[in-house]
Amino acid sequence: MEDNPKHQGQRRQLVDILLEKGIENTQVLEALREVPRHWFMDPSLAEWAYVDKAYPIAAEQTISQPYTVAYQTELLELQPGAKVLEIGTGSGYQSAVLLHLGMQLFTIERQQELYKNTKRLFSKLGLRPKKMIFGDGYKGLPEKAPFDGIIVTAAAPELPKDLLGQLAIGGRLVIPIGTQEQFMFRYTRRSQTQFDREKLGAFRFVPMLEDKN
């Protein structure tokens, strides 16, 4: 797929904006500089791919704004080879950033249309998560736990407790929580029973879907 010098220049400008907004992790910034966001968007929106905004994708979902992707990824504080669970594959852009950083990625998508589209795109781009699952992210992926990091890309009305139990000791869960008002939270597992909880900035996400069955 095409990635021309114009796109590359736009990504460099985007990274400058992310630096100004407070993203500091050089590996994360490098990933945002290298991963072509326009590959994960509708071609009709491609000219806006490097504007720091969210845009619609299929199934009434959105591709997160680059700042949000960078911010959540930075909060994970992980090294290459870390085992990561992503709840909400969506367009696949966040997944691509994590894969560029060398993560062992397990990713779950609840919307079948997105799951099929993004799985097809991953194959086309040669992106290889450890596992891509169509299912209910609220429950996590206990059979593959523990994870060094869990990242949730849609807003949960409350903390899904199952996800905390799937963190390795020292692992981090990064998740937006709330309905009308949403805040980013980071939970760090200190022991079998102890977790640190940090409430961070306000954000806007699409709601996380839960299978009630």
- 91 tagged catalytic: no
Cβ 89 vs Cβ 107: under 8 Å: yes
Catalytic residue, chosen from 64, 91, 123, 191, is 64
What whole-number distance in Å separates Cα of residue 70 and Cα of residue 183?
Answer: 16
Cβ 113 vs Cβ 59: under 8 Å: yes
Residue 114 phi/psi, 5-degree rounding, is -65, -45
Eight-class DSSP state of 179: S
Cβ 109 vs Cβ 115: under 8 Å: yes
Catalytic residues, by residue number, are 64
